[in-house]
Amino acid sequence: MQIVFVLKGLLRMPSECHRVFAGPTSRLCMLAAVLVGCAWSLHSAAQSADGLEKVFRDQTDATLGTLVRDGRSSFGAAVLVKDGRTLLAPAYGVEDPSSKSPTSIDATVIDLNSLRKLFVAVALAQLVDRHVIASIDDPMNSYLRHFKLPRAEGREVTIRAVATHTAGFDQTEFGAGELESDPSRFFQQRFPGYVENAGIFSVYDSYGPELLAYLVSELTGQPFTRFVEDSILRPLAMNDTYLSTPAQPLAHRVVAFQPKNPANIRPGGVLKPVESAQIDGPAVSTMSDMAKFMIALLGPAAEQNVITPRMRELLFRIQQSNGAGGSAHGLLFDAIRSGAKTLFVHGGVGAGSKCMMALDIEPRAGIFYCYGDVRTRFDRDPAFLAPPFEQITDSMLKPLTACPVDEAVGCQHYPRAHWNEAWSPYLGLYVNAARHHHGFSRLRTIIYPTLARVVRSGDSIRLDGVDGFVEVSPGIFGSPQHLETFSFFRNESTGKTLLSVSDRPSVYERAGSLLVDPRALALFLALLVLIALSGALLAAVPVRGMSTKVRAAAASYGLVVGCGVAALFGLSAFGHRYFDGVSWPLNIVRVCAFLTIPACLFLVVNAVRAEPWPRAPIARLGRLHYNVITASSIIMVAALLGVGLISFAQIT
Residue 520 has pLDDT above 80, yes or no: no
* Whether 207 and 274 share a structural domain: yes
Task: Tell which of 493, 510, 527 closes a domain.
Answer: 510
**pLDDT of the residue at 10:** 36
Classify 497 in phi/psi space as left (phi over 0), alpha (psi -120 to 50) or beta.
Answer: beta
Encode pLDDT of 307-330 as tens digits: 999 999 999 999 988 766 667 899
* Whether 39 and 8 share a structural domain: yes
Domain-embedded: residue 651: no
* Whether 225 and 341 share a structural domain: yes
**pLDDT of the residue at 27:** 42
Domain-embedded: residue 412: no
586 falls in which pLDDT band (50, 70, 90)? very low
**pLDDT of the residue at 421:** 92
Domain-embedded: residue 407: no
**Residue range 576-594: mean pLDDT, rounded:** 45
Q: b vs e for 222-231, b when ≥16 Cβ sit within 10 Å of the residue's Cβ?
A: ebbbbbbbeb
* Whether 323 and 471 share a structural domain: no
Q: Residue 203 in contact with residue 197, Cβ under 8 Å?
A: yes
Residue 181 has pLDDT above 60, yes or no: yes
How many CA atoms does the CB half-sphere of 150 hold within 13 Å?
16
Q: How far apart are CA 98 and CA 603, in angstroms?
A: 55
Q: Which residue has the higher pLDDT, 344 or 405?
A: 344
Domain-embedded: residue 131: yes
**Picking from 135-149, 264-278, 314-328, 440-454, which range would have the lowest pLDDT averaged per residue?**
440-454
Task: Check whether the bond before 300 is cis (ω within 30° of 0).
Answer: yes
333 falls in which pLDDT band (50, 70, 90)? very high
Tell me which range, 25-34, 118-127, 369-378, 631-640, is most confidently predicted by mean pLDDT.
118-127
Encode pLDDT of 255-272 as tens digits: 999 998 888 898 888 888
**Residue range 421-440: mean pLDDT, rounded:** 71
Domain-embedded: residue 415: no
Q: Residue 286 in contact with residue 240, Cβ under 8 Å?
A: yes
Q: Residue 317 in contact with residue 138, Cβ under 8 Å?
A: no
Count how many domains the chain has.
4
Measured between alpha carbons, how far is residue 100 from residues 104, 259, 263, 284, 287 in Å?
Answer: 12, 11, 14, 20, 18
Domain-embedded: residue 165: yes
- Which residues make beta-bridge pairs with 488? 499
Nearest to 95 by CA among 303, 287, 368, 235: 287
**pLDDT of the residue at 295:** 95
Q: How far apart are CA 426 and CA 510, in angstroms?
A: 9
Tell me which range, 60-64, 272-276, 639-643, is most confidently predicted by mean pLDDT.
60-64
**pLDDT of the residue at 593:** 57
* Whether 304 and 193 share a structural domain: yes
Q: Which residue has the higher pLDDT, 189 or 12?
A: 189
Percentage of residues in the chain with pLDDT exceeding 90? 35
**Residue range 135-143: mean pLDDT, rounded:** 96
* Whether 393 and 428 share a structural domain: no
Domain-embedded: residue 367: yes
* Whether 241 and 135 share a structural domain: yes
Encode pLDDT of 45-85 as tens digits: 444 567 889 999 999 999 999 999 999 999 999 999 999 99
Q: Which residue has the higher pLDDT, 475 or 356?
A: 356
Mean pLDDT of the chain: 77
DSSP collapsed to 3 states, 252-297: CECEEEECCEEEEEEECCCCCCCCCCCCCCCCEECHHHHHHHHHHH
* Whether 354 and 478 share a structural domain: no
**pLDDT of the residue at 289:** 97
* Whether 586 and 495 share a structural domain: no
* Whether 78 and 42 share a structural domain: no
Neighbours of 284 (CB within 10 A): 22
Encode pLDDT of 349-362 as tens digits: 988 899 999 999 98
* Whether 92 and 119 share a structural domain: yes
Q: Which residue has the higher pLDDT, 97 or 494?
A: 97
**pLDDT of the residue at 44:** 39
Encode pLDDT of 190-201 as tens digits: 787 776 666 667
Residue 623 has pLDDT above 80, yes or no: no
How many CA atoms does the CB half-sphere of 377 hold within 13 Å?
10
Domain-embedded: residue 547: yes
CATH code: domain of residue 162:
3.40.710.10
Main-chain dihedrals φ then ψ at residue 584, nearest 5 degrees: -65, -35
**pLDDT of the residue at 13:** 36
Task: Tell which of 478, 510, 542 closes a domain.
Answer: 510
* Whether 137 and 84 share a structural domain: yes
Judged on CB neighbours under 10 Å (0-12, 13-18, 19+), 527 is: exposed
173 falls in which pLDDT band (50, 70, 90)? low
**Residues of the domain holding 46:** 2-53
**pLDDT of the residue at 285:** 96
